[in-house]
Amino acid sequence: MSLLPLEDAPAPPLPAARVARRALVLLPLLLIGAWAAIDWRTMYDGTARLASADPRWLLAAMLFNCLGWVCAACMRQGAVPERLPPGPLLASQFAAGAANQLLPASIGAHAVTLRFLQNRGIPLARATASLALYSLVKPIAKTAVLLVFLAAFPDLLRIGELVPDQRTSTMLVGGVALALASVAALLTAVRPLRRPLRNAVRCALTDARRLHTRPARVLALWGGAVAAPLLQGSVIASVGAALGLSLSWAEVTFAFLAASAAVGAVPAPGGIGPVDAAVVFTLVAFDAPLDLAAATVIGYRVLTAWLPLLPGALVLSALVQRKVL
């Protein structure tokens, strides 16, 4: 029987896991291309605006944005009892920021972090519990910061124009009530969901109690949660100062806090869309010119979403390729 020459022998098929990993390496770059094709006009307009801005304030905005990734890494560490390696943890949060811009409701960032925690040997139930604790602490800390602003600047911050009217308040309350009723109905109708949910809640409560007996974890979790919205507000304030916005840091930061608290629950990729419109509306309520308020928010999005997007996607692909994720 004749044998095929070595060079003519068919190559062995690649394992399915290797093919899937190669696809995941390329997926972030493909998603960036799709997003760029859809939203290129915003990127172009924002970059053109920033080209004439004060570079010193833009540098400050970029510094605050970088510190935001450090805060995210601190919060992720504070939400798990195990010690995580600082370098890979920070890299995973930088990559998670890129994934978060492509999927709504922080799904992308949570998926990246969940994979990172599992690869560090943390069981799925406990990794999921850490994500739940992280997601719970963020709005609580943001609300606390917002209340501190209201107490610290009662005269400066004119909130009367920002309070929603009765119709809007009724819609918000009705939406929350409907969401809670839907969850309750789902658990009542689908009985197999009850036991996994009880186990997840029990695991989350156990880990939360354990973490809050360790001062280092409490400081990382709650300190990062308090600092994160202040840093984001500082990014917007720095961009506004670079463009000539006359509002103070306290007014711009409060505008961001109030807007994100009001519409931050709307599931949009990275909060883009609803939060942006709300921030522009709030800045205008503080007597900022409409065109300047819009330019400030667009510049903020360019610095926080567009500029880190390609480097973040490359880091994400590298982490997948090196099996960190």
Q: Convert the pLDDT of each residue in 142-188 to its tens digit.
A: 989 988 888 887 765 554 545 555 555 565 566 556 666 765 665 56
* Banded model confidence at residue 84, pLDDT cuts 50, 70, 90: very high
Tokens matching residue 247: 């509002």
* Banded model confidence at residue 290, pLDDT cuts 50, 70, 90: confident
* Banded model confidence at residue 38, pLDDT cuts 50, 70, 90: low
Mean pLDDT of 257-285: 72
Judge whether residue 20 has pLDDT over 70. Answer: no
Which secondary structure element, helix H or strand E, spans residue 251, and what is its range?
Answer: helix 249-263
Judge whether residue 221 has pLDDT over 90. Answer: yes
Judge whether residue 298 has pLDDT over 70. Answer: yes
Helix ranges restricted to H, the chain = 16-51, 55-78, 86-100, 107-119, 124-152, 166-189, 194-211, 215-243, 249-263, 274-285, 290-301, 309-321
Task: Judge contact between 92 and 131, C-beta under 8 A.
Answer: no
Among 90-94, 235-239, 255-259, name the one with the lowest average pLDDT: 255-259
What is the torsional sign of CA 256, 265, 24, 87?
positive
State whether residue 269 is helix, strand or coil: strand
Judge whether residue 39 has pLDDT over 90. Answer: no
Mean pLDDT of 216-226: 94
The pLDDT score that the predictor gives to residue 286 is 86
Judge whether residue 242 has pLDDT over 60. Answer: yes
Mean pLDDT of 223-235: 94
Mean pLDDT of 108-129: 88
Q: Is 316 left (phi over 0), alpha (psi -120 to 50) or beta?
A: alpha
Judge whether residue 11 has pLDDT over 60. Answer: no
Rounded CA-CA distance 108/99 in Å is 5
- Return the exposure string of 12-28: e unless at least 16 CB atoms fall within 10 Å of the residue's CB, then b: eeeeeeeeeeeeeeebb
Instruction: 170-176: list long-range contacts, CB under 8 Å, 24+ apart.
Output: none
* Banded model confidence at residue 324, pLDDT cuts 50, 70, 90: confident
* Banded model confidence at residue 58, pLDDT cuts 50, 70, 90: very high
The pLDDT score that the predictor gives to residue 252 is 92
Judge whether residue 207 has pLDDT over 60. Answer: yes
Tokens matching residue 134: 């992280």
The pLDDT score that the predictor gives to residue 261 is 77
Task: Judge contact between 78 and 311, C-beta under 8 A.
Answer: no
Rounded CA-CA distance 127/149 in Å is 33
| pTM for this model (two decimals) | 0.75
Which of 93, 102, 37 has its CA nearest to residue 270? 102
Judge whether residue 263 has pLDDT over 80. Answer: no
What percentage of the chain exceeds 70 in pLDDT? Answer: 66
Tokens matching residue 79: 């939400």
The pLDDT score that the predictor gives to residue 220 is 94
Q: Which of residues 10 and 114 earns the better pLDDT score?
A: 114
- Other C-beta atoms closer than 10 Å to the C-beta of 198 total 11
Amino acid of residue 98: A
